[in-house]
């Protein structure tokens, strides 16, 4: 049975609610008309820090998702590269750094998430085949410099997306989060080939902001008290918001705490209007000294960044 809302909403508890603060009211990056592969949208970036640079690996689209008659177009997604020394002002490369070149990803490569593991960057992404309904899989590619990507292959077959690796191995195992509609699943693997122990760790809940489905945002971020897992949640009006949970450091299958309210939602015009209205969707965050910088896509069209201090994050969770 679901908890009554007045308990989940924390009315009985005086803790301040965690809310991400926007660091810019304007998008950091928008589509470039005339640059074919990123004409209609740039969104949902993975983020990595390399030396003094913050690097975004973002999803870009060549066409709107629907035409003037509302019919689906044959759009394709690519991964673009942008870098910055202050996390706010980015310069980008003129061509995608990664594109689909297999039959299972002819409609493109979507929603990347990056971790640094085993002396290389591992980027999980959604490979979109478009050959039949639900033709998307979790795939992986590797790089040492975030620009040249190689050795790409499908990790998990099936109608599965929102794949992200835990940024460390435990007892030699990699942990892979994924989404089989409508839940967030976790599994582990010794070799990124054989996957074990698939279990649901987070499900939709209640009748409000997370009623329909949930999926991981970026790879979980290590904090003193556990793995901070940001996730997206969808309501019955197709609004995408961000939620937060804390996972046990030793056993990430164990959810220690989950906030009852969204920590971020579409509010600005460019988060409410775009290729898909009313969406904030994150695929990565940077863990900085003062707090967490959360990069996100707005309305599947442009990229922004929001922030919370560690004290704000820490103060929001109760662990029983």
Footprint on this chain of ligand BMA (rule: CB under 6 A) = 44, 110-111, 240, 276, 279, 281, 297, 300
Give DSSP secondary structure letters for 58-75: EEEESS-SB-TTS-B---
**What are the start-end ranges of the H helices in 124-218?**
none
Residues 6+ apart with CB under 8 A from 171: none
Nearer Cβ to ligand BMA (6/65): 65
In angstroms, the Cα distances linking 84 to 37, 55, 146, 230 are 21, 7, 14, 23
For residue 162, the minimal CB distance to ligand BMA (Å) is 8
Nearer Cβ to ligand BMA (90/296): 296
- Could you tell me if 138 and 163 are in contact, meaning their C-beta atoms sit under 8 angstroms apart? yes
The Cβ of residue 309 has, within 10 Å, a number of other Cβ atoms equal to: 14
Nearer Cβ to ligand BMA (77/260): 77
For residue 167, the minimal CB distance to ligand BMA (Å) is 21
For residue 95, the minimal CB distance to ligand BMA (Å) is 21
Nearer Cβ to ligand BMA (44/141): 44
Report residue 225 as tokens.
Answer: 């008290």
For residue 268, the minimal CB distance to ligand BMA (Å) is 16
Nearer Cβ to ligand BMA (281/317): 281
For residue 254, the minimal CB distance to ligand BMA (Å) is 27
Looking at the chain, how many residues does it have? 320
């Amino acid at each position: 049975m679901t908890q009554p809302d007045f308990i989940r909403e924390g009315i009985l508890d005086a803790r301040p609610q965690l809310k991400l603060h926007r660091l810019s009211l304007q998008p950091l990056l928008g589509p470039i008309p005339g640059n074919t592969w990123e004409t209609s949208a740039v969104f949902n970036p993975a983020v990595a820090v390399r030396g003094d640079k913050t690097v975004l690996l973002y999803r870009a689209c060549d066409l709107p998702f629907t035409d003037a008659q509302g019919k689906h177009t044959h759009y394709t997604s690519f991964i673009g590269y942008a870098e910055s020394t202050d996390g706010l002002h980015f310069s980008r490369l003129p061509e995608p750094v990664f594109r689909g070149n297999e039959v299972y990803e002819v409609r493109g490569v979507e929603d990347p998430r990056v971790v640094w593991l085993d002396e290389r960057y591992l980027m999980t992404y959604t490979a979109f085949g478009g050959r039949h309904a639900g033709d998307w899989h979790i795939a992986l590619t590797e790089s040492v410099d975030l620009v040249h990507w190689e050795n790409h292959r499908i990790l998990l077959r099936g109608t599965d997306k929102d794949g992200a690796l835990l940024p460390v191995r435990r007892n030699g195992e990699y942990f892979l989060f994924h989404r089989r509609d409508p839940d967030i699943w976790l599994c582990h693997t010794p070799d990124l080939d054989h996957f074990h122990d698939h279990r649901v760790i987070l499900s939709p809940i209640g009748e409000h902001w997370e009623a329909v489905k949930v999926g991981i945002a970026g790879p979980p971020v290590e904090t003193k008290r556990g793995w901070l897992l940001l996730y997206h949640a969808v309501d019955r009006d197709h609004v995408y918001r961000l939620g937060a949970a804390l996972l046990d450091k030793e056993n990430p299958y164990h959810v220690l705490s989950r906030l009852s309210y969204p920590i971020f939602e579409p509010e600005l015009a460019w988060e409410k209007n775009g290729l898909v209205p009313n969406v904030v969707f994150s695929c990565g965050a940077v863990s900085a000294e003062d707090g967490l910088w959360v990069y996100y896509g707005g309305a599947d069209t442009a990229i922004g960044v929001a922030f919370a201090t560690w004290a704000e994050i820490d103060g929001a969770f109760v662990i029983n």
